[in-house]
Structure formats: structure tokens, C-alpha cells
Chains A and B, each alone.
Chain A
Amino acid sequence: MAVEWGIALSLARHGRDELLALAERAEARGLDLIVLQDDDDDDDGQGLDPWTTAAWLAGRTRQIPIAIEHDPAAISEAMAAKAVESLGFLAGGRVLTSAPAGVQVRPASEIDRIQVTERDRTGRTAAVRAKRRAGIAYDDVPASLADATIEPGDPGFRGRRSTYMRGGSPGLILQPRTPDEVADALRFARRHPDLPLGLRSGGHGVSGRSTNDGGLVIDVSRMNDIEVLDEATRLVRIGPGATWKQVAAELDKYDWAIGSGDYGGVGVGGLATAGGIGFLSREHGLTIDSLVAVELVLADGTQIRADETLNQDLFWGVRGAGANFGVATAFEFQASEVHEVGWAQLTLVSPDLEQSLRQYGQVAREAPRDTTVFLIAGPPRQGQTVIQLYGVVDSPDPDVVVERLTPFAGTGLLAQQQVVLTRYAGIMAGAADVGPDGHHGRGEPMARSGFLPVLTDEFARDAAALLRTGKVFFFALRHMGGAIADTTREATAFSHRTPEFQVTAIGADRDGLDQVWDRLAGHFDGLYLSFETDPRPERLHDAFPPDVLARLRSLKQRYDPTHLFRDNFWVGENS
């Protein structure tokens, strides 16, 4: 490896203009590092603040790494971390809070005497290597993935480290572009059996399981093709890395849609292996019910296709517990014909949430299949609860749309309403685009989930009490029923076919949330794994009833006997 060179600049002795001139010179000469030294060898007063200067110099240079000698001066670690993270965003991770080992740092006066040698351009600089995590064989990344990895020191890391709701810090992100590259990534993962292994498509998952701390992430976002295979049968082939917003936009050209969740930013891979409860489910079934075939790479690198006739048992398991069996590389769906729909967003104020929930339950229960209305509520303020109702009436007829929505609007005092005729693609388009900037979740999401067989008066009472505790800041009811139950319980590993609602609560701290949520347990029958973050082992049994779990475990034994995939509702071993 070629020698890397840096220069040391003094915050006390060099003035602004001299610092800038030296930094520009170091960059022009191809040096690898600038170290800002907070030296204190004069008595004239303090030198420039290291962090402020580093941030300013980062704005004046293009690519040279800049190191200071300690964390930014701040009131707390959290504030220092915020500063570092922010500059990572602005300057692409090239400002370091300690000088990396392995760089020869010379005084600024020697800047023109340093002989810079040509460096291997595919290799990473010492500054980047300094941020590597223990236990990962970085030098042995398969050749096919050499240009498809992101390390903690790389500029793209910031946008990929975290998910929508979880802050993460993986040690290496692998971004395969083909099934063969997925197999290579899995071969690399098999060499690291003790590290966490996240599988990431859109990175939206509320349960936040697609990132980790110090482990590996296989990020399939580059496998995002959307291709119509057969127009007559509406057969579509979609890569796991596409988002539902992209899918909806593409299918809209044909007057088709595949029901997804309620947010277009969600990735195809995560949803199509878990369930997919959305605005079209009551009419066309869950997302997995539109799935006709899936292609995966198994833990041992085998590429396999599964459908109703080929590897039927795997096809069953992927539809509800997919993360246990492999990395999906393509899905084939049969889209539904969907034309203009009514899209409603209603804001209600309720002085009596219990009463409003009872009424909403009644109205939702009686709604025809073309109508799906979700409910969100937060904690009451001054005795009033704000309720958001949002959903779809699958009809292009404004009179029908209004007729369907009117009973929902009466479940509280209507404060605001927006009802439009639009396309399913128009609804999914409401999601923000996640560009290279990525997701920036922080900490751990705290979400609990339950399937509610019937919205009883007792549930309404207890749910209202739950919100009064203030421990839950987001409470959602997803309207199920209708076509979801047209598929039998045995057909897919997702076996919760008959609840009226899927219920989600998000809180700020785990103990507080669990304490109040666990009181509701008697109302529920099972949980939806996409919204569940409780690490207690009982949750696995809520997600999968005994017969389903037993079948999943025997499949696990067959398809992933070394248990490489265990970071997302790991079904475990037969006891």
C-alpha cells in the first residue's frame, strides 16, 4: 500500500487566509489529510475553534479529509454527535474527529517537499479505513461487489446507515445489482456468522430491522426494475428495491395497481415478504395475495424460484415470513385493474374518543369492500382528541365517494376535509422521494402491533385509556376485512385473515409503551410483524400461531439450516 501524507495546520498560528491557502495547496497536491492542530503554545490568546474551522474548510475544499484532534466542543455527547453527523451530511464524511493512523503527517512548512505517490484508486484512504468496524474482513469483499459497498467512512454512508425510524451504524453495506451478486454477498455474510445481518429494500420498515450496529447490511435498492411480462394477464415483474410509489407510477400507465401499504416510500421487498395491508386490501387482498411467483437467493447461494407449483412450501413461507428464508431478487405479481378512486383525508376533533372509536368500528364494519378508511389518533389535548381518517373509495363516481365517506365523517366533529378523485399512483406519490440522501432515523423505534378480531366497546374504552396515558403518541387502526379473508388461513404464512383491524401504537420509550400496551393484550389475536419492535420472545408466537410456526421451523431447517437469517422475526429452531 502506498504511503499516505498529511499536513498539520495550526489553529493558533495560521490566520484565516494562510489556513485557506495551505488547505487548497494540500488538496491541489493530492495529499490525503489535513490535521487542524489546536495547539496552545502562544500566550496571545486562543486560536480558532477547531470544529468551526473544520466545517468552514470543508466548505472551501472538495475532497481532502480534514481531521481535528478531539470531538467538537459541546455541552454533551449528543450535541457533539449532532455536529459530526451534520457535517457528515454537508461534507460527505470527510471531517474526522481524530487523525487516522497510518498517515504520515508533516508540518505545513514541508508541504511542497512531500513526494505524493500514485495511490490505488479502488482502495480506501487511511481516513476511511480508520472508521472500519472490528470483525469484518473488508479486504476480502468479493470482487464482483468491490464497487458496490459502502463503509462507515465513505461519503454515501450517512444516507444508508439508518432507516426511516431507526438510527444505525452497520460496519459494511453491500449493494448487489444481480442475483449472482446477491449470492456473492451471502457468501461474504456466511464468513461472518456472528455479525448481525440486515436485509434492506426501501429502508422504511417501522420495525427498523434493516440496519444494525457493526454488522452487515445487504441493500437490494439497486435491484429495482419494473417490467410488464404479459399485458393480457397483467403480469408484472418487480425488483425488491423498487418503492411502491415507483410501482404505482409505472402501473398507472396501464390502469393497473398492486395494493401496497399506505405509504409510497415503502420498498417492495419488505412488504411483499410480510403481508401488505393497504387501501386496496379489502377489495383485492393483501400485497402477498397478488404475488404469483418469487425468486430468491438462499443462504447457501442457491438461486430458487417459488410459486404455486414449484417449491410451493417456500412460496407459502415467503408470503408472511420471507426474511427467514432468503434474499428476494424478483417478484412476479398479477396487478388489478384500478381506475380513478376517491381519496379522502379527514380531520376530526373528538371530545369523547371512546365513543368515536365505537362509531368508527361500526361504520368500518358495515362499509362495502370498495371502501377502506384508516384511523390515526394521538394523545388528547385539553380533553379533545384529533382524529385523522384517511382512505380510499374505489369508485370514480363522486356521489358514491361522498355516500361512502359520510358515515365516517360523522364519527367526530369534522374540522378539515380533503376529498379528491385521483389515481392510486397519485396517492402513493404523496410519499417523499428518498434520494441519495437516504433516511435519517435516530435511536430505536418503539412500536407495538396487534390484530383486533372485533372492535368491541371494551376495546374502545381501553384504547381511549391508552391514549390518555400520554405514553403513545401515534395510534393507528388499519381497516381490514373484505377480500383479505378470501384467501384461506392455510394459503400463506401470514395467517391472520379475519381481524377487523390491525392496530399500531408508537411511543417514546419502550418500558412506558409496553406497560400500557400489554394491558390491551386480551383484545388481540396475533400481531403484524412489520409494526412490532418488542424484543420479548413471546412476540414470535403472536406473529405465528403454533401450527404456522412449526411449519416455518421445518422450512427453516431445509432452506436456512445454519440460521444465517435471524435478524427479522427469526423463527428459531424446533425445540
Chain B
Amino acid sequence: MTDYGHDLLFGAFVTPTAQDRQAVELAVTADRAGLDLVTFQDHPYQPTFLDTWTLMSYVAARTSRIRITGNVINLPLRPPAVLARAAASLDLLSGGRFELGIGAGAFWDPIVAMGGRRLTAGQSIEALAEGIGVIRDLWDTSARDRVQHDGTYYQVSGAKRGPKPAHDIGVWVGAYKPKMLALTGALGDGWLPSMDYLPDGVASLPGMNAHIDEAATEAGRSPAAVRRLMNFMRFDGSAERLADLALNHGISGFIFGGDDARSYERLAAEVAPEVRDIVKRSRS
């Protein structure tokens, strides 16, 4: 039994396709339906996709309540100093509705083709740890000095801090392998993997959670400081299964792909209340 006690979030995993304004329409539907999150994958080298950052900024203007995040933002193509300022801006413009799902990058050929640099898996993890540090530094306007960062992967020399985000933006990390899970536990506010990519599906969760917990504890944090979210490629509508994941595996964010407006409406109207109800009764 693992449950970190977070309130439950339900969301949509929307393909940022440049077709018929579908991505914007789905986000608006998810907002109206009452979902908590609308999230977008970030593969700007994919010719049929929109730039996820631009899309999220536009979607923020067209929605009023839903929280927005990249799922996950491709750090190798988005330098941390630029990303920090843009993220804080989007948080301010959206009224505190932005969270930063972020990843180390995976598809290096297209990343290089779009102007990123090729890193090994190990280097990309070190770069992510460094990048998160830079981003948090730039958000921290309580310090008055300018940001200096002379890292292996990122150099920032005398950048102004700010703008200050409207709320404490959560840094949610897409992670699977032990080193990334350790990074997530040490630095992340959330863990954001996809069920389809877990090596053994649900059976992987106890081990992966333990990895994160251990790293969090080692970093002097509570394991509960890291919210556990999960992407599902398809929506299957089973409230019992989701409640089981919440109560026994600590998952408190359920994000569904499929790009289908009706299933998002059903998720918000029927499934989410049922899962919340089961979890609430069981927790009390």
C-alpha cells in the first residue's frame, strides 16, 4: 500500500497536431468539461506538430480554469534560461495555471536536426539536473543578485531574475531509468511517466516508487513531496483500476491520450467523481 495523500488530478494528453485546430478544441473541451489538466507532448521536430510552447500559450488564452503542462518539455531544445522566463510568463498570463513537465530528451537525431546538441543518456540526465537548478534560480526573485551559473552544460552569466511566477510551478519529470528516478526524487515536484513505457506495467510501480522515495529521503525531502502522475495512451474508463493505482501505488494524476473529446467529457463527468469517491472513502 502506497498512497502519498495528494488530491487527485485528471487530465488530457493531447497531440499537438497542426490540423483543424484540433489541439485547441480538445483543450477547450477539457477545460469546459472540468478536467484538471491539459498536457501536450513536445516533439517540435515532428513536421505535423505545432510548437508545444506556442500552443500552450495560445491555449492558456482560450481556457479559464484548467492547468496546463508540457508532457514533457524537451529540455535539449529549450534552453533553461529561456524556458524559465517563458514558464514564469505563462504562469502569470494564465493566472497560475502552468506546471512544468520536463524531460531529458530521447530522440537525438531529430533534436540535433532542430539545433539541439547530442548528449549521451547519462549526460542528458546531468544536463537536466543542471537545467532544473537554473530554472529555479531564475524564478527565485527573493534573492537580489543576478544569476550566475557556470555548469558543464549550461552557462548563465549575470541574468536578471524573474519574472516571478504566479504560483509555485511544479517541476514534473518524465523518468523511467534508475538515474532519472533518482533525479526525480531529489529534485522533482512530480513524476510523470507513461504506463505503456513502464517495463512491466503496473508491476514496475512499487520498485520505481521506491527508487524515487529513497532518493527523496536521501535529499532530505519527504517522498510525499513528489506527486506521482501517470499517462495512459488510451482511456478505458475503469474507475476501480484508477482507484487501485491511487490507493496502492500512490498515483494521484491520471492523464489520458486518445484525442477524443467525448471520452474527456466522460472522464470528467463520470469516472473522475467515482474514483475520487472510492479514494476518499478508503482514505478516511
Known A-B contacts A45-B164, A46-B160; the reply to A52 vs B50 at CB < 8 A is no
Q: Complex: how many Å from CA A55 to CA B78?
A: 17
Q: Give the docked Cα–Cα distance between A79 and B61 (Å).
A: 22
Residues in B neighbouring A416, C-beta threshold 8 A: none
- Contacting pair A49 B89 (CB below 8 A): yes
Return chain B residues, CB-CB under 8 Å to A440: 18, 47-48
Count B interface residues, CB 8 Å: 42
CA distance A75 to B86 in the complex (A): 13
Which residues of A, 38-92, contact B by the 8 Å Cβ criterion? 44-49, 51-53, 55-60, 72-79, 82-83, 85-87, 89-91
Nearest-CB distance from B145 to chain A (Å)?
A: 12
Contacts of B141 in A (CB 8 A): 45
Q: Is the interface of A mostly helix, strand, loop or mixed?
A: helix
| B44, CB-defined interface residue at 8 Å | yes
Determine the chain B residues whose CB is within 8 A of the CB of A49 once the complex forms: 82, 85-86, 88-90
Cross-chain contact A48 with B54 (CB below 8 angstroms): no
B273 to chain A, nearest CB (A): 30
Q: For residues 392 through 441 of chain A, which have their beta carbon under 8 Å from a beta carbon of chain B?
A: 435, 437, 440-441
Q: Is the CB of A52 within 8 A of B53?
A: yes
C-alpha gap A56/B141 in the complex (Å):
24
Q: Which of B19, B54, B82, B160 contacts A55 (CB 8 A)?
A: B54
Find out whether the CB atom of A86 lies under 8 angstroms from the CB atom of B18.
yes
Q: In the complex, which residues of chain B have a beta carbon less than 8 angstroms from the beta carbon of A91?
A: 58
Q: B62 an interface residue at 8 Å Cβ cutoff?
A: yes
Determine whether the beta carbon of A75 is less than 8 Å from that of B93. no
Shortest CB–CB separation between residue A27 and chain B, in angstroms? 14
Q: How far is the CA of A52 from the CA of B58 in the complex (A)?
A: 8
Separation of A75 and B45 alpha carbons in the complex (Å): 13
Q: Nearest residue in B to A72 (C-beta to C-beta)?
A: B54
Cβ-defined contact, A55 with B58, below 8 A: yes
Minimum distance in angstroms from B91 CB to a CB of chain A: 10
A442 at interface, CB cutoff 8 A: yes
Contacts of B21 in A (CB 8 A): 90
Residue A25, interface by CB 8 Å: no
Cα(A412)–Cα(B18), bound, Å: 37
5 contacts between A and B (CB under 8 A): A45-B163, A45-B164, A46-B161, A75-B78, A87-B58
The answer to whether A86 and B55 have CB atoms under 8 Å apart is: yes
Q: How far is the CB of A16 from chain B (nearest CB, A)?
A: 5
Residues of A within 8 A of B (CB): 15-16, 44-49, 51-53, 55-60, 72-79, 82-83, 85-87, 89-91, 435, 437, 440-442
Given contacts A45-B160, A49-B85, A441-B47, 17 further A-B contacts (CB under 8 A): A16-B92, A45-B162, A45-B163, A46-B161, A46-B162, A49-B82, A49-B88, A52-B93, A56-B90, A57-B61, A59-B62, A72-B54, A79-B115, A82-B44, A87-B58, A90-B24, A435-B20
User: From residue 51 to 67 of chain B, which have CB atoms closer than 8 A to chain A?
Assistant: 51, 53-55, 57-62
What is the bound-complex CA distance between A437 and B22, given in angstroms?
A: 11
Assembly CA distance A57 to B60 (angstroms): 10
Shortest CB distance A440–B (Å): 6
Complexed CA–CA distance, A78 and B53 (Å): 14
Q: Type the 1/0 row for B86-109, where 1 means its CB is closer than 8 Å to any CB of A.
A: 101110111100000000000000
**Given contacts A45-B141, A56-B60, A56-B93, is CB(A87)–CB(B54) below 8 Å?**
yes
Q: By the criterion CB–CB under 8 Å, are A74 and B18 in contact?
A: no
Interface pairs A-B: 10 shortest CB-CB: A76-B115, A59-B61, A45-B162, A55-B57, A86-B51, A49-B89, A86-B50, A48-B89, A86-B54, A49-B86
How many whole Å from B182's CB to the nearest CB in chain A? 27
Does residue B219 face the partner (Cβ distance < 8 Å to A)? Answer: no
Asked if B79 is at the interface of the complex by the 8 Å CB criterion, the answer is yes
